[in-house]
A and B are shown apart, each in its own frame.
Chain A
Amino acid sequence: QSVLTQPPSVSASPGQRVTISCSGSSSNIGSIYVSWYQQFPGTAPKLLIYDNSKRYSGIPDRFSGSKSGTSATLDITGLQTGDEADYYCGSWDTSLSAAVFGGGTKLTVL
């Protein structure tokens, strides 16, 4: 059971927009920055978004992040088949004194 809650899967068609949610609590997302990661099968995760909404170097502006209260969202617009991957949110939990991740969301581009 992950501390941060993500939907197990989302799907959309090429060119469309998809939103991946990440729900936490006051001790993590509610008070600490959120980051987002993309992971293709058999490869290491890659940083997409840090500090809630800042794109890491080289990440296209089709990817955007936001935070409101104890939830965060990753938006991907203009979906491409190459975006099919697992996406994870992450934060620090001040009560647990632990880094916490969501369980991951598998994005399928139909």
Chain B
Amino acid sequence: EVQLEESGGGLVQPGGSLRLSCAASGFTFSSHWMYWVRQAPGKGLVWVSRISSDGSNTNYADSVKGRFTISRDNAKNTLFLQMNGLRAEDTAVYYCARGCVAAACVSLLWGQGTLVTVSS
């Protein structure tokens, strides 16, 4: 069974930083693209970033480009999202999700999410 467990969320002031982690189990982590998707309170799903199975390719939403960095440690089956320069509009539940083995494929299995609140 695929299991994804996010951690690292919390309350942070505008301009601050947070590092989210996602511990994966139940599948061959090093074979899959991995995603971060966020959902602001009462809003829909918004893609944030993704990383290839070996970590060599990354993509970012324009809204986070230059501020967020996705990375992974395949030896530890863990996905990360380093978030710098946080803004109020980054407030959301952040979900880690398992993607496909193929690149142009969005069929996601989701973690339970971690809440990030950006407020003074």
Query: Which of A's residues lie within 8 Å of B, judged by CB?
Result: 2, 32-33, 35, 37, 43-47, 50-51, 88, 90-92, 94, 97-104
Across the interface, do A35 and B104 meet the contact criterion of CB distance under 8 Å?
Answer: no
Across the interface, do A44 and B95 meet the contact criterion of CB distance under 8 Å?
Answer: yes
Cα distance A102–B107 in the bound complex, in angstroms: 14
B101 contacts the other chain (CB 8 A) = no
Q: How many A-B residue pairs have CB under 8 A?
A: 61
User: How many B residues, CB 8 Å from partner?
Assistant: 20
Cα distance A97–B50 in the bound complex, in angstroms: 10
Across the interface, do A91 and B45 meet the contact criterion of CB distance under 8 Å?
Answer: no
* A44-B110 contact in complex given A99-B35, A101-B44, C-beta closer than 8 Å: yes
**Chain B residues, CB < 8 A from A101:** 37, 44-47
Cα distance A26–B37 in the bound complex, in angstroms: 23
Cα distance A50–B46 in the bound complex, in angstroms: 18
**Chain A residues, CB < 8 A from B111:** 44
Across the interface, do A98 and B61 meet the contact criterion of CB distance under 8 Å?
Answer: yes
**Chain B residues, CB < 8 A from A90:** 45, 106, 108
**Chain B residues, CB < 8 A from A2:** 44
Taking the nearest CB of chain A, how far is it from the CB of B33, in angstroms?
10
B59 contacts the other chain (CB 8 A) = yes
Cα distance A37–B35 in the bound complex, in angstroms: 15
Known: A47-B107, A101-B47. 8 other contacts (CB 8 A): A33-B105, A33-B106, A37-B108, A44-B95, A45-B110, A47-B110, A90-B108, A97-B59
Give the nearest-CB partner of B110 in chain A.
A44
* A35-B107 contact in complex given A44-B95, A44-B113, A98-B61, C-beta closer than 8 Å: yes
